[in-house]
Amino acid sequence: MSEIEIHAVRFDSPAAQRLIRDALADLGARYGGSGDETPVDAAEFDPPVGAFLVAHLDGEPIGCGGWRSHGEAGDTAELKRMYTAPAARGRGVARAVLAAVERSAREHGRKRMILECGDRQPEAIAMYTSAGYERIPNFGFYKDAPGCISFGRTL
């Protein structure tokens, strides 16, 4: 198997946008609607206030994830748009992207990562809990939505 390569890209880059469209379609199939109505601005993922990463395998974009600053203290990052293409699942792509996103956030002074997830994403929940994430009070756009599950972890 080839090695997974992960690179920072602009959130609005063609590769990132293709993966994000696929991620939203996946969420839409699970939850209905557009998949995620959370307001997102591409500039939120520009360093030093955020970053967006894309994983490639044999030159093809197969996964993504990013972080944006959260809260006033400047020490918390919010994980957004984690996704692995179905054909690449089970190969450690999501774990590699998560580790790279966490590393990027740490390098930019963030001490904590938080995220919103939904109860219809058992694979994501299993990965986050096995990576040391613990349930936290819900926050953000889906704070009061049924099925919302929020996680956090010290970096």
Q: What is the mean pLDDT of each run of 10 residues along the chain (155 residues)?
A: 90 97 94 87 97 96 98 94 96 97 98 97 96 97 94 98
pLDDT at 1: 52
Helix (H) or strand (E) holding 95: helix 93-107
Give the start-to-end residue ranges of the domains of the chain: 5-113
Helix/strand number for the chain, H first, E second: 3, 7
CATH numeric code, 5-113: 3.40.630.30
Q: Collect contacts of 18-24 with beta carbons under 8 A, ≥24 apart.
A: 18/61, 19/54, 19/61, 19/63, 19/64, 19/81, 19/83, 19/85, 20/64, 20/81, 20/83, 22/83, 22/85, 23/64, 23/81, 23/82, 23/83
